[in-house]
Structure 1
Amino acid sequence: MKVAQIGTKHGHAAGVYQVMLEHPGVEVVGCFEPDKDRQSYCIDSGAWDDAVWLDSIEDVLENPEIVAVASEGANRESLAHTEAIVRTGKHCFYDKPAGDNFHRFMRVIEDAKSQNLEVTLGYMFRKHDGFQRMANWIRSGFLGHVFQIRAHMSTWLPEESEGGQHTDRRGLSYHRGGVLYDLGGHMLDQIVWMMGRPERVTPFLQNATSTTRDFMDNTLAVLEYSNAIVTVDIAAMEPQPTARRFEVYGTEGSAIMEPFEPADQLRLVLSEAKGGYDEGVTMIDLQDRRRYVDTFAAFVDTIENGTPSLRSLEHELLVQETLMRCTGGLAG
């Protein structure tokens, strides 16, 4: 199966291109970067030594042998790229989040549905050992009634950086919600898979330290369900290594991961023994899986063999809608 990539400005663009190169079932035709200064920077950086550079976007979109395309442009440009990819009848591995215009993304998804195309958002924890265990426990009722989830996924970002990626504080100030817009979808992808659509969302967005004054660097979103509360907090100035943490609390048990990247251990607490686990505290060793390898493999398998998608197109819409509610782009 022949694939290609459009864009290099997403923070994970180089990693996704490498994952595609290493997949035994695909042939990577190449990458088109519309910003030639950015392309020159990539070539000089050494991080793209294996890349084949295409001259125009038509080299991707008008090549009938290319079946699927990775959309890896900056967040401010990637929705337009994805729209073009789907319009020309190609499957799309679309790195998160899905732009700033939710209604435009809805139209892209409707177009994909009408053509029976796969659109997979690049949320990197869908095959994460710990998140998969937690989701299975929540969805099966193993932890009883889940009444609270806390998600913490902070980072450290420079005010400005070279390379023209727009992944620094100045670049991300373009987006309403700042760092919550950039990283929140990873947590919301898990949360709405576990809990469904929240009834109400309340964002708290603050500039606490950044000299780029319109960049929201200290953020919190509260998601309210009829019988549960979920909080997602993300900041842009936490010292490394960051304490990325995910906590689930139910009436029959709890589960905590810290850190969840790299995956290490999960602390499971049960009020009574079940499922092969003892009553009380059990520390479970987790497999640390490389980002995107399994999710891209599942994307390819869906296209070639018709296996069910990891997430439906309706789920992709729900994640983006919830993110827009959290950042203030849609009403809560």
Structure 2
Amino acid sequence: MKKRTLVLLMIGALTTTGSATLVNAETSEDAPKETFKVGFAENTYTGDWRACEVADIEEKAKEYGYELVMTNADLDIEKQIGDVEDLIAQDCDLIVIVPVDAEAIAPAFEACKEAGIPVIDMDTEYTSGVFGEDFITTIRSDQYEQGKAAGKWVVDTYGTEDSVTVLEITGTMGQSDAQNRHNGFADYVADYDNVEVITQSGDWSATTAQNVVQNVAQTSEFDVVYSHGGDMIPGIILGLKQAGLKPTEDVGVITVDSPFQVLDSIKDGETTAAITCTPRGGDTLFSCIDSYRTGEELEETYLVPMNTITSDNVDEVYDSEGY
């Protein structure tokens, strides 16, 4: 199996945060060659983002030469804890956990620790965990910075003088990605007195998001919708239309995530902007596992880069950022 050595662009606060951003990977020949079984406890297979992540993990496991066992918790935390116990019973050498809930997942991490199996925390940050004790590294996008980027876009687009009302439609707030996207946005716009935020849960569901838009539109006026995830965008657009509002004309629409349906919506003029959050973390994951196996010291966090997509650059980044 070829060794993939991470080439990292260290972000400014690395000495205090212990995080880094993956740039690319190069090959060498010194990784162990014995079979190594990786368990991957996915929180759900539902949605374009997760489907792309699952496909990428499966593809990269083969490319790097790892045996892979994947489980699907279907967003059920008790099932996910059971999934991890099953992976332990299958003698996995390392387990990757994408937590359904950032706090309730604790028994799964504890079970791995008791079994002496190293864990990589992925996507949703395990809030109670201790680096070096409960997990060997975390691989995730910086959801807090994504929220800040969305807040900056709102302020840059709508200014600081006229009043602006934002309808924020969140993911599932028990998950760290939704909480961080909320906190980053809230912290950024808190400095601007002209920005008011109405926050409602969409639970990552297009149907739920559609209902939220319709219900809020009956009682309140808003200038922009901020969505935590691209899978909710079809429902948001439909909800706006059913409320008699033209997306991007009457109400701006910004989302985190860039599935092709969102990029197509930007091209069609019905979504205004998207903050990218790539599901393609397989190279980062298996490069980290390679490094761990050869005794290299891992950073506490590896961050996936992000970008802001609008009608100005959507054609340029369509293939590289879409999924």
TM-score by length of 1: 0.39
TM-score by length of 2: 0.40
Choose between structure 1 and 2: higher helix proportion: 2
